[in-house]
Structure 1
């Protein structure tokens, strides 16, 4: 078990904490550390993608707890590709924020940016549906702060609306996960695939309900028509 797989999650989390605690009032230090961190993440993402490019699937069991009881990270071709795309875009977005001076409008832009990267990369690498929910909430909490970054009445009103609708989506997410666990007894994605495939068609009503709830959750969070009513603000 290689520890490289957990670094895309641990690195931005540590950088965010360090920026809040040690460089809160030093914008230049925040910029340097944040850019260096995103470049390091890009290097890690390239390495993970290269490792998975031949079809190798890497597993990381936190605390050596075996699935489906422990937290499991999975690196396959799809997840590492999504991680790589995120890590390519991250330094470009960060450089734009620095060049436009957007990061100077508040003290917490760079920590929030790193926390959002942590949530996004964790959501792509997790092998457990509940931890997908956890990482989603991490990136959403960071996005709440980024949305109201620099303040203003209009931005605060739009951010409040964004928070309320996403909290509604998160509640539906929990209902869906609870339904899945009640029907299958697990939330590990690989284990779910096996157990769902073994269910009789007549006993799949709960799974269908959970699937519809998950579809609604991601449609709300991604503002997909017709659940995009919060986006115009």
Structure 2
């Protein structure tokens, strides 16, 4: 059995590297796990912008399972769930076409959008229009790509590990999240400069970084609680949620 872990952003994959003992194979353009010869990983880019890399990996590896792990934005203020909690998905929707991919078990609906959504009114509109719980940019495009890739279309199973990364009331912070996407690569001087240039100043930047860390910690916990059981074959039938068949 082969398992391919796919994240959207490199930041999400970086948060999982130590947990899974991932080492980059430059010749293949993906990560191999030192813990399990069956585990491979890559970052497909926000909105699956690195489709060519992903398609090549699918054709080469022919994985039995694709795990798509990443952070999502909660849509409704009245949903009490905190940053860092994993969703259990029953369906994934593509926002432009309205195409629905059924899965489960779970009670949450995830809508994939074409560009980031932060404003509360935009999130509320998505929630009402699609009866959705959260939004992101990779799930529906991934299911569509898998269904079109001949080498895996009839055999692959997809498991989503989607963790709440931001809530509607934090929109005024996360609308500037793109300013700190490469934070882990920045020098001390670059971080100080970003802090003073960040809208609202260093304290607001610190709040944003703290909330991002909470989301990534939740992602680590969720992936760490799921993958070992799958790779070892000890995961009980029916104990895994958010399972989708793209064909």
Could you say whether these structures have the same fold, taking a TM-score greater than 0.5 normalized by the shorter chain as the test? no
Higher relative contact order (CA 8 A, sep 6+): 2
Query: Normalized against structure 2, the TM-score is what?
Result: 0.28
TM-score (norm 1): 0.29
Point out the structure with the larger strand share: 2
- Which structure shows the bigger proportion of residues in helix conformation? 1
